A and B are shown apart, each in its own frame.
Chain A
């Protein structure tokens, strides 16, 4: 068969590339899955540290309104920390299972990546209003004004919520843009490979 002969000739002509290969730890892997996994890990660690700071603030500020807002925020973040942890485990499994059919792996990669990015974007939206409230109460209390009085102050609340509503879409779309820059090509390439395998 002509193509087979040409292929064999081509391989012979290209010759043997020789260098000494060594085992080096890949510190800065550019594999998008590994990058996303690393980001999740950093997110998890940072989130846990912030939760500890939040618990400390709860002891520092005994006002009921601060306790409640920080408490809800901390509980909410633990839910997302659990989700992040599950995603990290799923990515680890994906990186280990290299010998399953490749189209299955690519489909799993795509689904997991999309779900993870979406989770991060939604988390930033859900967190913001409560985080703003807790922050304003902590920052605004003192000098004879208690947080419990502040929470009854409608103009104060409106300012806080107005700020949250203004920045929520900005941060959400900023996250989406950053994710598109970082992972857009990878997602597009993977979708293309999966589409190419569909027989028309």
Chain B
């Protein structure tokens, strides 16, 4: 694959990179650094793209891998203040508020939980997530169930607060 075709593919699927950077990396300087690391890593690894999965799936995993293995600073924002998220100004669309709360919940999870729930919500099967992480499917299933319970509890608590 030549550089031009590679960059075309990267630019077509750039939403994947920015989606993950937005969730995992709050600092904008770090975001820029990691964005370049991801593109460079993708370029170096392009021969490993086997067409067994879509380019988007391949890029998703590579991006996530680069982000998780490059984390340096304690992300203060990780311990999301759920109360602060629940005190978001009331807006006309309660669904939007819930979506913001869901985003805040997920962004505030630890890296492993965030990876599990994000990959699950982005359409990866349990087997794929388990293989990516290097854990058993049972182990993953338990973790996923607990994460969903935790998020649902927060969303329900927010629901009651709205009434």
A interface residue numbers (CB < 8 A to B): 2-4, 6-7, 9-11, 13-14, 16-26, 29-33, 96, 98-106, 109, 185-186, 188-190, 192-193, 196-197, 199
Contact = CB atoms under 8 A, between A and B. Distances in A.
B18 A189 contact: no
A193 B68 contact: yes
A10 B39 contact: no
Contacts of B65: 98-99, 102, 105
A102 B60 CA distance: 13
Interface residues of B, number: 60
A103 B133 contact: yes
Nearest to A107: B134
A197 B142 CA distance: 11
A103 B134 contact: yes
A98 B62 contact: yes
Given A2-B155, A196-B113, A17 B15 contact: yes
A17 B62 CA distance: 19
A21 B112 contact: no
Interface string B36-58: 11011101110010000000000
Nearest to B112: A196
A23 B64 CA distance: 19
